[in-house]
Structure 1
């Protein structure tokens, strides 16, 4: 598999589709703000925001925003000396240029790694302590996310959603003050205080639904969102296995199961999990003909 032949998969497409309502709400917020500031050209603000979001595809901007967002740090000289050979080995197996990606260290103490943006790969300090074959398997999985298009558009979508997300947080903070506002009207009678509280709550809920329509369908769409993420994890596993890291991945999943004392999940937990159970990932790889 080469980077030139990589194409976005169903998981990447679903992530974009499911983001459309929030993006639309965000652009509508900007349009309303534009209508107040410059009525004849109200469309200029959302259009400008969308165009400005193109800077998220610039590597320097990605390398500035993502560490702030995820709390990553640059690897030390010693960490880089351990990380670089494994990363270059994975990229050589995939036929891609490893130098186009930026390696980071996540501050978490868990055994984990993640891919973000178009050029970012991060591992935790615990992952760095793994033997080279296991570290390469984890890195191959993260490269699989990049090759499958799971991360390329994510930073731009985050940018488009930002106005709605910020306003949503503000409204949630305002919602915390609703009970206190209601009590302020208690002097006019209990019924007045209750009425004010109800009206304010309905207004905030209406605004939140406008900014993020998925909130109304969260109980139904939660499993769909989680399913799309699990598809992405299975795809990244498959990419890593095709690069020759199937046995190492299966061994790692088994080690995770042993370390956590099992991997049993109830049905609802399985439906809402963004990552598949390790037993399911092992089974999927074995069904594809890979052995541990």
Structure 2
């Protein structure tokens, strides 16, 4: 089997994700450093260094297993599921020139037509997709997820989220204190609660004044981050299409788009082609965000956009 010399790359989408996560990372670093040097004045740098190096756990397989089981709610495939998945996965990775054993296959108990790539080695598919999709179409879906790993989208997204976590927890704590203050004001002396809130607010305000540029960047970052995530999806589609899965992937996307509750068009479309596999459950449509802000924050492009970008791969070769 031909193996590509470069098994992983860092494309523009993954670089963009890392750059756009810098403001939350800086905020988290400030919070971790402040807490560390407050609790351990002489050894605070050790705690900061441990936190900075913790991102390497994204490629640590035992840690990935914990992540898959307890945070992503995944499980290992049963022997029967593995017998179906592995030949399809071998075909996909062989076409891409990728060592398939580098990645671990997982299953999500879900009635959605979906799959995902996470951390450094996780590729998952829903039980519904595995039980219902014809093998050729399942291969197209897995090729899309493989592209997220090859392009660096999966690990860069995870690292960005991980290093942004302290900042988000601090923001959640501020909001929690504010809610608690409102509740206490109804039961305790209003003046006492007001003093406590002013004391806490002054600390937050002083931090905001000193690092306003970081906070402003954090408020703006979700919009370009969502745009980069949409671009990563299009790049993954195009990578799968370049491997020859373009028409199959387009059929899956089109079926997902046209599927409505009470209409088993997805099953009928594949059954009419004589493909293997039976659809026992209606595919749930992806949630659609409403409004302009909702569209700007969507992490996936709409189906028309994805099909438009796949169009060059669907034209018959001359």
After TM superposition, the score normalised by the length of structure 2 is 0.78
Distance across 1 between alignment mates of 2:20 and 2:303:
26
- In structure 2, do the counterparts of structure 1 residues 268 and 175 end up closer, same or farther at CA, with 3 Å as the change threshold? closer
- In structure 2, do the counterparts of structure 1 residues 227 and 211 end up closer, same or farther at CA, with 3 Å as the change threshold? same
Residue in structure 2 matched with residue 172 of structure 1 by the alignment: 175
- Match for residue 108 of structure 1 among 101, 107, 110: 110
Distance across 1 between alignment mates of 2:136 and 2:202:
55
- In structure 2, do the counterparts of structure 1 residues 228 and 212 end up closer, same or farther at CA, with 3 Å as the change threshold? farther
Residue in structure 2 matched with residue 74 of structure 1 by the alignment: 76
Per-residue CA distance 1:58-104 (angstroms, 9 max, x = gap): 22222222332211111112211221111111001101111111011
Residue in structure 1 matched with residue 44 of structure 2 by the alignment: 42
Q: Is the 8 A contact 1:75 1:105 kept in 2?
A: yes
Q: Is the 8 A contact 2:17 2:160 kept in 1?
A: no
Q: Is the 8 A contact 2:7 2:98 kept in 1?
A: no
Q: Is the 8 A contact 1:164 1:212 kept in 2?
A: no
Per-residue CA distance 1:154-178 (angstroms, 9 max, x = gap): 4444443343343443333333212
* Structure with greater helix share of residues: 1
- In structure 2, do the counterparts of structure 1 residues 194 and 51 end up closer, same or farther at CA, with 3 Å as the change threshold? closer
Residue in structure 2 matched with residue 25 of structure 1 by the alignment: 27
- In structure 2, do the counterparts of structure 1 residues 206 and 217 end up closer, same or farther at CA, with 3 Å as the change threshold? farther
Please report how far the alpha carbon of residue 150 of structure 1 lies from its aligned counterpart in structure 2 after TM superposition: 0.5
- Match for residue 153 of structure 2 among 150, 153, 157: 150
Paired residue secondary structure (2:21): helix
> 1:222-237 counterparts in 2 under 5 A?
222-237=222-237
Q: Is the deviation greater in 148-157 or in 197-206?
A: 197-206
Q: Is the deviation greater in 263-272 or in 71-80?
A: 263-272
Per-residue CA distance 1:143-194 (angstroms, 9 max, x = gap): 0101111012344444433433434433333332120233355465xxx766
Q: Which runs of 5+ in 2 are unaligned?
A: 262-284
After TM superposition, the score normalised by the length of structure 1 is 0.85
Q: CA RMSD in A?
A: 3.2
The number of aligned residues is: 288
